[in-house]
Amino acid sequence: MKKVLRLFLWLVAVLLIILIVKALFFKSLQANFGEVTTVGFGTESLLNLSEAVKYPTVSYAPGLPVDTSAFQGYIGFIRRKYPLVDSLLHLEVFNKFSLLYRWDGRNASLLPVILMAHYDVVPPGDTAGWEKGPFSGLNDSTFIWGRGTLDDKAAMISILEAVERLLSEGFVPERTIYLSFGHDEEISGEKGARAIAAYLEEKGVKAEYVLDEGMAVTVGMVPMIKEPVALVGTSEKGYLSVRLTAEMSGGHSSTPEKESALTVIAKAVGALAAKQMKPRLAGPVNDFIRYIGPEMPVFARVIFANKWLFKPLLLSIYSGSASGNALVRTTTAPTIIQAGIKDNVIPTRAEAVVNFRILPGESSADVLEHIRKVIDDSRVIIEPLKDFINEPAPFSPTDAAGFQVIFKTLRQVYPEAYVAPTLTLSATDSRHFSVITDNIYRFAPIRVTAEDMARVHGLNERTKIEDYLRGISFYYMLIKNSQ
């Protein structure tokens, strides 16, 4: 007995040593590149963002008409306010409103860089709930208010501010730079980003990297980390909605059969909610752990450094919160259910729609198979809504030059922030560009807290003036660093 106990203690000791050694070798990846004195941007840049917000370039829904005068007015404003961009860069317009600028580099053998943003915005919602008008562009000397100040006019204006400044300084890039500005991102990007990507593909253009919106400099949003964390999306989840329909005989509710179309659909939805797809640490989440784990408090560092042992624990911690769960799993969200019109009539037809966000490494076909298996009832017709299927984006590497240059620029412009790759949960226009490059990164230089995130597509969207100005410096430095 004593022997067994001694062996056990030995094993525990060996295990502890392994855990500690692994944690000690879990070294920080947050390299320093020295402070840079960023260029000053001021009043003129503020006025330009304020004016950009004033054009109500709203995307309502696919197929619905837009306020063409707002879109035309916005383009006119861009061309007027950025005269060097307008005269020195080559402009191509797609479906009337999406813009692709080409800034020719000196060295045609280098692959170009594509900087993206979109300038359509979602509707303001309950206008009365806004503290300042959603299209006011009001500057209260701390914030600029209005739709697009976070998503995503601020990025477009920041790119233009940076390029106009570089042009005024006589800067000529070594590699060609494209600026791709979509007008319909909020409703799929079909006519904007997708058309631009198809055009580039047809011309045989390959890019070194693409940078689009998606993530941000987050403040207080990464658990256990006090410092801000600049997150860069290296992949994005896929999208699939499925309609479930059952048709059965109905009848009077005084003599119900054991089952009806309604109970069958309710059961199917309940089964999908109860039995979800398995959690997994996908590539971008593993990379996140590699970059952020070493900055965690000691206890968490030991866990993150020893995924070989703690993976089940990590997965159960992630699965515990809605936002964590979305990072490790293909999520299941029933969003529509319809049946019945009268309290004493059993409906003959019932339907539901369930929305899935697909984890990289899985596909819409995998999800459909899962659905069939879980429901396991031939009375339920399972039908994917074809118009909205996106497979998860391919996984962009962190050792590629594009990621490294974004990383370096972030560490220079936001020296107080850690930088980490991660998985983007929502769809961006950049997904259309996977035919142009393997290196697609999703980050816009805005600083956000959890409270700010609610303003994106919500009420009272606004950006802090100092954050916006720093965002311009980010693009300015990024272009210089990308040479």
Helices (H), 169-251: 193-202
Q: Is 212 exposed, middle or buried (0-12, 13-18, 19+ CB in 10 A)?
A: buried
Instruction: Tell me how far, at minimum, the Cβ of 118 lies from Zn ion, in Å.
Output: 6
Stretch of 38-46, 145-153, 311-319, 442-450 lying at the interface with Zn ion (CB under 5 A) = 145-153
Nearest distance from residue 258's CB to Zn ion, in Å?
A: 49
Q: Which is nearer to Zn ion, 151 or 295 (CB)?
A: 151
Q: Are 441 and 234 in contact (CB under 8 A)?
A: yes
The stretch among 33-41, 151-159, 327-335, 343-351 that binds Zn ion (CB under 5 A) is 151-159
CB of 152 to Zn ion, least distance (A): 4
151, 161, 185, 467: the catalytic one is 185
Least Å from the CB of residue 36 to Zn ion: 28
Angle at 261 between CA 258 and CA 267, to 5 degrees: 75
Q: Is 229 helix (H, G, I), strand (E, B) or coil?
A: strand
- Interface with Zn ion in residues 191-220 (CB under 5 A): 213
Separation CA 430–CA 465 (nearest Å):
27
**Which are the contacts of 381, defined by CB distance < 8 A and separation ≥ 6?**
243, 244, 245, 246
Closest CA to 305 of 315, 319, 295: 295
- In the complex with Zn ion, the residue whose CB is nearer, 151 or 452, is 151
* Identified binder of Zn ion from the candidate list 151, 164, 287, 467, rule CB under 5 A: 151
Q: Which stretch binds Zn ion (CB under 5 A): 149-157, 229-237, 351-359, 461-469?
A: 149-157
Among 48, 55, 75, 152, binds Zn ion (CB under 5 A): 152
Q: How far is the CB of 163 from Zn ion (least distance, A)?
A: 20
- Annotate each residue in 257-286 with x if it binds Zn ion (CB under 5 A) or - if it does not, as one string: ------------------------------
Which CB sits closer to Zn ion, 230 or 248?
230
Q: Does residue 120 carry a catalytic annotation? A: yes
User: Closer to Zn ion at the Cβ: 212 or 287?
Assistant: 212
Given the complex with Zn ion, which of 317 and 456 has the nearer CB atom?
456
Determine whether 185 is an active site residue.
Answer: yes
Q: Note the maximum CA span of the chain.
A: 86
Binding to Zn ion by CB under 5 A, coded x per residue (else -) over 104-143, reads: ----------------------------------------
Site of tokens 């067994």: 4
The least distance separating Zn ion from the CB of residue 429, rounded to whole angstroms, comes to 8
- What is the per-residue DSSP string for 263-322? HHHHHHHHHHHHSPPPP---HHHHHHHHHHGGGS-HHHHHHHHTHHHHHHHHHHHHHTSH
HSE at residue 112, side-chain half, CA atoms within 13 A, is 19
How many CB atoms are located within 10 Å of the residue 321 CB?
A: 11
- Nearer to Zn ion by Cβ, of 197 and 303: the residue is 197
Residue 210, number of CB atoms within 10 A of its CB: 27
Q: How far is CA 464 from CA 28, 115, 217, 451, 452, in A?
A: 30, 22, 13, 13, 10
Task: List residues near Zn ion by CB under 5 A.
Answer: 151-152, 213
The residues carrying an active-site annotation are 120, 185
